[in-house]
Every structure is written in C-alpha cells, then in structure tokens.
Amino acid sequence: MTEIKLFCPATIANLSCGFDVLGLCLDNAGDEMIVRKVDQKGVRITKIIGADLPLETEKNVAGVAALAMLATLEVDCGFEIEIYKHIKAGSGIGSSAASAAGAVFGINELLGKPYSRKDLVQFAMQGEKLASGNAHADNVAPALLGGFTLVRSYHPLDIIRIDSPEELFATVVHPQIELKTSDARSVLKQTVSLKSAIMQWGNVGGLIAGLYTKDYDLIGRSLHDEIVEPLRSVLIPGFDLIKQTALENGALGSGISGSGPSIFALSRGKNTADQIAKAMSDVYEKMNLPYEIHVSKINPDGVRII
Amino acid sequence: MTEIKLFCPATIANLSCGFDVLGLCLDNAGDEMIVRKVDQKGVRITKIIGADLPLETEKNVAGVAALAMLATLEVDCGFEIEIYKHIKAGSGIGSSAASAAGAVFGINELLGKPYSRKDLVQFAMQGEKLASGNAHADNVAPALLGGFTLVRSYHPLDIIRIDSPEELFATVVHPQIELKTSDARSVLKQTVSLKSAIMQWGNVGGLIAGLYTKDYDLIGRSLHDEIVEPLRSVLIPGFDLIKQTALENGALGSGISGSGPSIFALSRGKNTADQIAKAMSDVYEKMNLPYEIHVSKINPDGVRII
C-alpha cells in the first residue's frame, strides 16, 4: 500500500461542563485527505482544495503533525499529502484537528502501524500548537479515537475514550461569522468561584456516568456549563435563542462547540436531531444570517480509510 | 415487624478530586441502631451508648432526620430509636450521616417502605443540617445507597449511585485530634484558578470512568485533589507522611476523608489495604499520636438490617 484516502472527521470540543477536557467525534462532517508514500524523504503538502491554507509543510498543521511523528521514527521514504477541506477554518468544529489527525493516521497506516491511535494524539497535538499556539488534545483525541474522549491530564498525557450511546446524535449549526479564538479566550476569567467549579465537576461526573450507563436523561441533565458558556455565548449571535430552540425541540442539551461560533445540540435519535436542525435553521433564516448545519451520529471510529 | 436492628455504615466524603460531590460507603466501620415502632406518636431517642450526644429529638441528627421524614407521611404510630455509636463524632467518616441515614431507613422499613433509598436522602440531609449547618448529601447518600455516590446537583437533588469495583478496599486512619469543621472550612478559598478547576474536573471524569470500567490504575491516577487537599492537609498532623507511606505501600491513591482529620487510602485487594494499615499505624506510633484504623471493602448496600 503506497496511497491511502481518508475521511478526517469534524469534532466538538469543550463539551458544555467538560471545558478543555471532553470532546466527541462527528460522523458525516469532515475533510478528505490522500496520503501517499514516495521515495523522496520529507513531507510535502501537494494540494489543498477548499481552503486558503499554506502549502509549506512547516506552516501547515498536517505537515507539522506529520513531521513531529516522523521525527520519532527512522524511515527511508517520504510522504505527500493532498487535503480536501470541507470543514471551514474557525468554525469551532475542529478543522485543524481533522487535518493533523488525518496526516498522522495516514502515515502510520502506510508505515505498517508503528503507533496505536492513542499514541498518535501527541503528534497531532503539534499541529494544534501551530494552529492556535496551544498543543491541546480535545479535538485531535476524538478525531483519532472516535466516540467521546476525556483528556484527564496533559502531564502526563492521559486520554480516556468512552463509547457513545448508539442513539446519540449531534446537530451543529455554524453561523457564518468570524470569531477569533483570541477573542473567545480573552473573555474567559482566570479564576472561578469554588461553588461554580463544584457544580461543574458534579456535571462532568454526571455526564461521564450517563455515557457509561447510556442514560440519555442524565446526559441531558449534565450538559450544563456554569463557567465558560455564560462568558462566551455573548460573542455568538442568537446563541440564547438557538439553544432555547434546540431544547424546545427535544435536545438533551446544547452549548458552544469548541470556542465557537458553532453551536451544538445533542439528542436521542436522528428524527429529533433533524427536527432541531430545522428549527435552528429557521432561527438564522429569520435573522438573515448565513449558516451551515450538520446532523450526525457520533462517529465510533474516528478518522477512517475510505 | 415492630423492631429492627441496623448497621449504619461510616462513609468517606470529599473523595480527592470529588470535593463536595463524591463519596463511598464503608463496610465494617459503623454504628448500630435499633428502631422500634410504638403506639405513642412522635420520635424519641431512648438510648445513646458510646457517645455524649443529646437525647432530645430536635437536637439529635437521627431525631431531626426522622421528624423530617414523618412530616411527609400520615402515620398513627411513633418511633423509639436506640443508638450504639462506634464512629466518633468529628472523625471525618460520617458519624452524623450514619445516624441520620439509619433513622430514616429504619422507620421506612417499619412503615412498609413508602420511600426508596434514594428518596430517603433528602430527609437524612436534614440531620446533616443540624450537625453542620449545611444540608449536604455527600455522606448520607453513600450511607443509604452503598457503593460510590455522585451528588451531581442539589437543585434539584440528583444523586447517581455507582458500583464499586469488587476488589477495591479502603484503609482509613483517624488520628485522635479534634479538627473543627469550621476550621477545616475557614482555610478554603472561595475562588480557584480556572486551570486548577479544569485539572480537577478532568480527574473527576477519570475517576468516574475508572469506576465504570473497573480500571484500578485509572482510579489511582485520578485520585488527585488540586484544590482542597493542599489547603486542608496542613491541619492534619503527619498528613504528607501518611499519604506518602500509603502510596509507597501500594495505595492507588490517598487523601483527606470528609473534612478530616481522618485520612483514607484506596487499594486493590485486602492484602494491600492491610499492609497500608500497618504502615500508617507505624507512622503514628512513631509520632506517639493515638489513632484508630479501619480496613474495609466498599459496602455495596449501604445501611442494612442485622
């Protein structure tokens, strides 16, 4: 095998109460990528379709992730990467993570899998570092592992993968505004009240318990963010109305995807997820705000060969 | 049935990262209680052996919990309660919770179980309110439900019971000093850094995941308290040495039980728990500090008829 074509999934990080630790993998929103093994050593990004992103390996998240991985291996070949972007940069559903995860997954396959999917997270994180200045794992982990992921710790890196209940669906709406990550960060406060923090970790515990016991109601009750959402949601047009609409249409919970501006809702069953998508669309139609919308089951596998 | 004899278990609350939300139930440390149905209406505490506690119903945690429960029912009888205390007040392993849980459980049994165990938590909490000024559930929930309990939310009350992995054992050492709850509270800070809070809820998620997957190593890695232990442990003589000793002797993790002064360690298997008990004892022997020590599996049932 010298060439591999991949689906590189979009992901939702900062899942309500799980700010900075909990993410999930989407199934039908994502990029495609071709990774090719070639004689010439090194990594070259040979094509990017659908986005205005740098082709220089050291300036491209896929390139940087691939280089971080190859620096740990002795290989006598090189790799070419073609990227077909469908996830918009800055959408809040893990555009850079999809590329970083795809690159390391593809190279790993072509090299006969020297690494496990979990091992690959650390390399993909280097792509995130290029993209946002912060080597975070909360998008690349679900993109590589599928399902839900908990980043328990960074030092040492400790990632726990959790199966999704099978009937869980996500609806994600992306209002077409630019929300800079730096702006989304600047509204955060560096301290929180102990009382809010306790409520937050109670909900994180409840969400994890709900995932393991497939208790959809408990998942819904736990999808509450005491700390970040109240600060960040003001940056997202129509957030309160979109969230309220999602809940009124049967969502288990709703919140900001990543650092926004996308808004997600989780629900039980595709019909409810579709109904939520329709209702969310109506809100942005009335506001005359362009948007994209995705309805997806939770992707159990992460990045995959197509 | 007009009389019932109960074992009212000790409990560990504030389980490391799970400050204010996570507790567990001990199996062989606890009080005994006799609850008797009598013609004369009302609740009377007729005997307390082993502790200098008030017999007046309204001043006794068991009495107050019983009254809170009976206020919701129409009954044409009354109850007498005899309490045989083995858990010392102020030890940090749920002395008041054991009495409150026992009283409401016993009365519920004698009335033909109008309430579920989970229903009873709200009444037992009223006993805690008398004892500490705060109607907290993190000891009465595990005392009534057994296993591990997560208090996800107080408004509304939402308690999740989690089975313990079968080989999990607790070692609890109680240095015989008085540590006032008010002092243990006064050292807490009302704000925490966002960074520490994120680490804490990552660990809460890891601990819950470890319990569901019976992953002892993950449980151990997650038993880490970023926020409260560093502040409170200075009030407990020998804390750092006891904890270090527990870890060196195979504990998965160790921390403050409740608001102290008891210190717990969790381990896999009774042999390790016994070895930790021996090593902890040696520490306090050398310090010439009186102590009590318990080794217990996790009690799967909570308060029980004996």
Segment A245-270, tens digit of pLDDT:
999 999 999 999 999 999 999 999 99
Residue B232 scores a pLDDT above 90: yes
Give me the CATH code for the B168-297 domain, please. 3.30.70.890
For residue A204, the chain B residues in CB contact (below 8 A) are 201, 204-205, 208
Is A112 exposed, middle or buried (CB count within 10 Å of its CB: 0-12, 13-18, 19+)?
exposed
Is A249 exposed, middle or buried (CB count within 10 Å of its CB: 0-12, 13-18, 19+)?
buried
Nearest to B236 by CA among B174, B170, B172: B174
Nearest to B209 by CA among A150, A104, A264, A5: A150
Cα angle vertex A255, ends A254, A257, to 5°?
Answer: 125
Answer yes or no: do B208 and A208 touch at CB < 8 A: yes
- Give me the pLDDT at residue B126, please: 97
- In chain B, domain spans: 3-162, 168-297
Q: CA-nearest residue of chain B to A196?
A: B191
Answer yes or no: do B204 and A201 touch at CB < 8 A: yes
Residue B303 scores a pLDDT above 90: yes
- Give me the pLDDT at residue B300, please: 98
Q: CA-nearest residue of chain B to A151?
A: B202
Q: Which residues of A189-199 are buried (b: 16+ CB within 10 A; e: fewer)?
A: eeebbbebbbb
Residue B205 scores a pLDDT above 90: yes
Q: Which of A158, A192, A206 sits opposite B194 (nearest CB)?
A: A192
ipTM of the complex: 0.95
Q: Which two tokens stand for residue B57?
A: 């119903």
Distance from CA of B147 to the nearest CA of A (A): 14
Arch. (CATH architecture) of A3-162? 2-Layer Sandwich (3.30)
Distance (Å, whole) CA A10 – CA A87: 7
**Tens of pLDDT, residues A79-131:** 999 999 999 988 999 999 999 999 999 999 999 999 999 999 999 999 999 99
Distance (Å, whole) CA A116 – CA A273: 33
Q: Which residue has the tokens 């069953």?
A: A269
Q: Which of A17, A200, A205 sits opposite B150 (nearest CB)?
A: A205
Q: Quick check: helix, strand or coil at residue A132? A: helix
Distance (Å, whole) CA A220 – CA A207: 8
To test the contact with chain B by mutation, choose from A136, A159, A186, A208 the residue with the greatest count of B C-beta atoms within 10 A, namely A208
Q: CA-nearest residue of chain B to A199?
A: B153
To test the contact with chain A by mutation, choose from B204, B219, B228, B229 the residue with the greatest count of A C-beta atoms within 10 A, namely B204
Distance (Å, whole) CA A23 – CA A305: 22
Dihedral angle sign, alpha carbons of residues B153, B159, B163, B164: positive
Distance from CA of B128 to the nearest CA of A (A): 19
Residue B181 scores a pLDDT above 80: no
Q: Which two tokens stand for residue B296?
A: 């217990």
Answer yes or no: do A205 and B18 touch at CB < 8 A: yes
Q: CA-nearest residue of chain B to A159?
A: B206
Per-residue confidence band for B1, with pLDDT thresholds at 50, 70 and 90: confident
Distance (Å, whole) CA A10 – CA A50: 15
Cα angle vertex B83, ends B81, B89, to 5°?
Answer: 135
Answer yes or no: do A205 and B20 touch at CB < 8 A: no
Percent of chain B with pLDDT over 70: 100
pLDDT of chain A, 306 residues: tens digit per residue: 899 999 999 999 999 999 999 999 999 999 999 999 999 999 999 999 999 999 999 999 999 999 999 999 999 999 999 999 999 988 999 999 999 999 999 999 999 999 999 999 999 999 999 998 889 999 999 999 999 999 999 999 999 999 999 999 999 999 999 888 788 889 999 999 999 999 999 999 999 999 999 999 999 999 999 999 999 999 999 999 999 999 999 999 999 999 999 999 999 999 999 999 999 999 999 999 999 999 999 999 999 999
Distance (Å, whole) CA B63 – CA B129: 12
> Which residues of chain A have a Cβ shorter than 8 Å from any chain B Cβ?
17-22, 150-153, 158, 160, 162, 188-195, 197-209, 212-213, 218, 221-222, 227
